[in-house]
Amino acid sequence: MKKLLLTAFEPFAGELVNPSLEAARQMERIDFPDTVVQLAELPVDRYRAVEMALELIRSSKPDIVIMLGEAGGRYRVSPERVAINVDDFRIADNAGNQPKDEPIVEGGPVGYFSTLPIRAITDRIVKAHIPAAISNSAGSYLCNRLFFSVMHAITVEGLGAKAGFIHLPYLHDQAMSKYPDVPSLSRESIVEAVRIAIEVSVSSLAQDGACAAVEK
């Protein structure tokens, strides 16, 4: 059995929903073969979000960590390529934190690449007729902070999990009620994109394992 930790965020910036949480909750209803999916609902709080995620990673030792978040204004589902070592919050988080130009880890590396199969994930989502593209910036708000912090802990503590971040556009309901000219996707598309991301990530792990067995 493979263990996969799926994280999603609560609503923020005055929104009533967060597409990441809406999609993540649907994953609990799906049966992924040979995979246990654990869901973590994170607060939009600079400190608590990271603490909660790291505690879960250290205690349940997942093989894969997929982090999800909302990126309002994006047209496409965006598997992120890289996390950078900077906190520069455009708006305050739900706890009122708004750091500017601060390193996430003082003296730490500039960045970390995602270790999820982002090309394969993106291609499979597009093949399902859902708009997706690799993104080269996760921003400098809490999603980037979580992504960086998780990659750093996995690396420094030798936890061995594959991990990465996927940003999701607004849901139609969000855009239609507040920002009619801003892009959005259907709930079905967002749920299916996340399902595909899990499926592709788990199967790439199985392939890695098969290659390692052949090499031995």
Closest distance to ligand PCA from the beta carbon of 205 (Å): 25
d(CA 21, CA 60): 21
Closest distance to ligand PCA from the beta carbon of 129 (Å): 25
d(CA 188, CA 50): 29
Binding residues (CB under 6 A) for ligand PCA: these are: 9, 12, 18, 20, 44, 69-71, 139, 141-143
Output 139 or 164, the one with its CB closest to ligand PCA. 139
CB environment 89-102: b (16+ within 10 A), e (fewer):
beeebbeeeebeee
Please say if 143 is a catalytic residue.
yes
Closest distance to ligand PCA from the beta carbon of 130 (Å): 19
Token pair recorded at residue 82: 């890289």
Output 121 or 142, the one with its CB closest to ligand PCA. 142
Token pair recorded at residue 159: 């936890």
d(CA 183, CA 194): 18
Please say if 80 is a catalytic residue.
yes
Say if residue 215 is exposed, middle or buried (CB neighbours under 10 Å; 0-12, 13-18, 19+): exposed
Annotated active-site residue in 22, 70, 152, 167: 167
User: Is 15 within 8 Å of 62 (Cβ atoms)?
Assistant: no
Annotated active-site residue in 22, 70, 80, 192: 80
Please say if 129 is a catalytic residue.
no
Closest distance to ligand PCA from the beta carbon of 191 (Å): 16
d(CA 145, CA 8): 14
**Which active-site residues does the annotation give?**
80, 143, 167
